[in-house]
Amino acid sequence: LQGQLVIPGFIEGHGHFMGLGRAAMQLDLMNTTSWEEIVRMVAEEVKTARPGQWIYGRGWHQEKWTTPPVPNVEGFPTHASLDAVSRDNPVVLTHASGHASFVNGKAMELSGLTRRTPDPPGGEIIRAANGHPTGALRETASGLIRSGAGEPELGEDGRLERARRALDLAGKEALSKGITSFQDAGSSFADIDLMKAMVDEGAAGVRLWVMIRASNAELEENLAKYRMVDYGNGFLTVRAIKHSIDGALGSRGAWLLEPYADKPDSTGLNTTPVQTIATTANLALEHGYQLCVHAIGDRANRETLDLFEKAFAAHRGGKDLRWRVEHAQHLHPADIPRFGRLGVIASMQGVHCTSDAPYVRARLGEQRAQEGAYMWQALRGSGAVIVNGTDAPVEDVDPIASYYSSVTRKGADGSVFFPGQRMTRLEALKSYTIDAAYAAFEEGSKGTLAPGKYADMVVLSKDILTIPEDEIPAATVSYTIVGGKVRYSR
């Protein structure tokens, strides 16, 4: 191998597998630096689209724009400039976080979204001073858009073909980045059916561990028959449920104990009622599922830990349930020790820290940022297990980039975000291998290179444990091996 490094295959600890594939089929807005650039990209797309065809994009973030759009409301543009280039095409542009979207006038018209439309529970329609929607939609408000309205029906075969293509694209992308297992953060029962079919056909490239996202009524009806562990020679496991209690910090949807420093009239959004999640917790206990709750703000994390603690008290103290908080980004210092004490997994994304760092202080203020943002070492000190990942397609699914963020906390501008919370290189590697396996009850078959475990491994061009820090991002994947078979080679 000429000095290349062999390590256990990377385990993506929190990503959206179907979303990763779908993102590859849309306009990629991740590297855009202005609203005007986005409008130009949509204008180009319109040239080849038929009238009435919906145009989708994903990945924009207003904090990455070098200048704010004019006019703007809370930093978000208004839809007039987008309308000017897309009068006959409805447009939906999903925020990088997945927790907001921006739509044009045609999309609002086809969805019946007007000045009189009320904010839905757990969401917000951003409005101009005159009360008219600007086109920006926070959290559940994005669900008001009737995507595909006015277009010919795809039909069941068409929908299935599109979904299969998304799964195939996601698998290829993951393998190219050295990922051998992917912890999927929320799929429907229909998507799981499709994943199972692809496993049956031998068409699954990476091993999938799936959290179900569904209503409590659907869960009650289906949990017993969908639970599966190591199905298809370890290519599909379904033993977890996903909920979201709040939104994202970037779009000011994270649920906080105290108001936003840069929006003093808001503490963010509680996107799913706590009682709804408490009901899900009982279903999870009854059917032997892990519960994984998206919680970003300090209020969201406290409410989730409170809920977990009550559920554990009714179930042998929660012994080895391995329930998870997905993200655990912003914590009140008093809640940090509770992770270790309760045995709650902190499923965090190293790359989110460096992506969000430019605006965390603005949102939270200096003290909250220092005491509670991305507290990797403090959580480890509490005895908590930390899992790494990327939240793809929110970020590039590349584990090396997230590993680099984890060990440096260094942003694109070279600044370091509270370096005392950095992981060591070995800690970061474990968060992508054995600790991620533990968080899925899979430490017996994955996460280390040992006899009796799956022969899942990745060969890297450089030794990321020893090379100079600034060389880590240049490391590339030479081979990805799953079950002893080379599934990707550069």
User: What pLDDT, on the 0 to 100 scale, is given for residue 158?
Assistant: 81
Q: CA of 480: how far to CAs of 227, 456, 461, in Å?
A: 28, 8, 12
Burial class (CB in 10 A: 0-12, 13-18, 19+), 367: exposed
Asked if 247 and 268 count as a contact pair (C-beta separation under 8 A), the reply is yes
Give strand pairing partners of 240. Answer: 211, 290
CB atoms within 10 A of CB 79: 23
SS3 content of the chain, % helix, strand, coil (to 5): 40, 20, 40
User: What pLDDT, on the 0 to 100 scale, is given for residue 213?
Assistant: 98
Asked if 94 and 58 count as a contact pair (C-beta separation under 8 A), the reply is yes
User: What pLDDT, on the 0 to 100 scale, is given for residue 73?
Assistant: 94
pTM: 0.91
Token pair of 198 as six digits: 């692809």
**Rounded distance between C-alpha atoms, residue 289 and residue 15, angstroms:** 19
Token pair of 44 as six digits: 């180009």
The string of pLDDT tens digits covering residues 179-195 is: 999 999 999 999 999 99
User: What pLDDT, on the 0 to 100 scale, is given for residue 51?
Assistant: 93
Asked if 379 and 339 count as a contact pair (C-beta separation under 8 A), the reply is yes
**Rounded distance between C-alpha atoms, residue 247 and residue 233, angstroms:** 36
Q: Which residues contact 344 (CB under 8 A, 6 or more apart)?
A: 305, 308, 323, 324, 325, 338, 384
Amino acid identity, residue 287? H
User: What pLDDT, on the 0 to 100 scale, is given for residue 306?
Assistant: 99
DSSP 232-277: HHHTEEEEEEEEESB--TTTT-S--SS-BTTBTT----B-S-HHHH
Write out the H or E segment, with its range, that includes residue 35. helix 35-48
* Cα angle, residue 439 at apex, residues 438 and 442 outer, rounded to 5°: 45
Q: Which residue matches tokens 């630096």? A: 33
Token pair of 486 as six digits: 């080379």
**Helix/strand/coil for 60:** strand
The string of pLDDT tens digits covering residues 130-159 is: 999 999 999 999 999 998 888 777 677 788
Mark the ranges of the chain whose per-residue pLDDT is less than 70: 154, 318
CB atoms within 10 A of CB 188: 13
**Rounded distance between C-alpha atoms, residue 162 and residue 325, angstroms:** 31
Q: Which residues contact 58 (CB under 8 A, 6 or more apart)?
A: 23, 26, 27, 28, 29, 30, 93, 94, 96, 393
User: What pLDDT, on the 0 to 100 scale, is given for residue 2?
Assistant: 84
Amino acid identity, residue 327? H
Distance from chain centroid for Cα 456: 24
Map out the domains of the chain with their CATH numbers: 15-144 (3.10.310.70), 161-440 (3.20.20.140)
> 269-291 in b/e burial notation, b at 16+ Cβ within 10 A?
bbbbeeeebeebbeebbebebbb
Asked if 456 and 181 count as a contact pair (C-beta separation under 8 A), the reply is yes
Q: Which residue matches tokens 């049956």? A: 200
Could you list the beta-strand ranges (E) of 9-87: 10-15, 27-28, 55-60, 72-73, 76-77
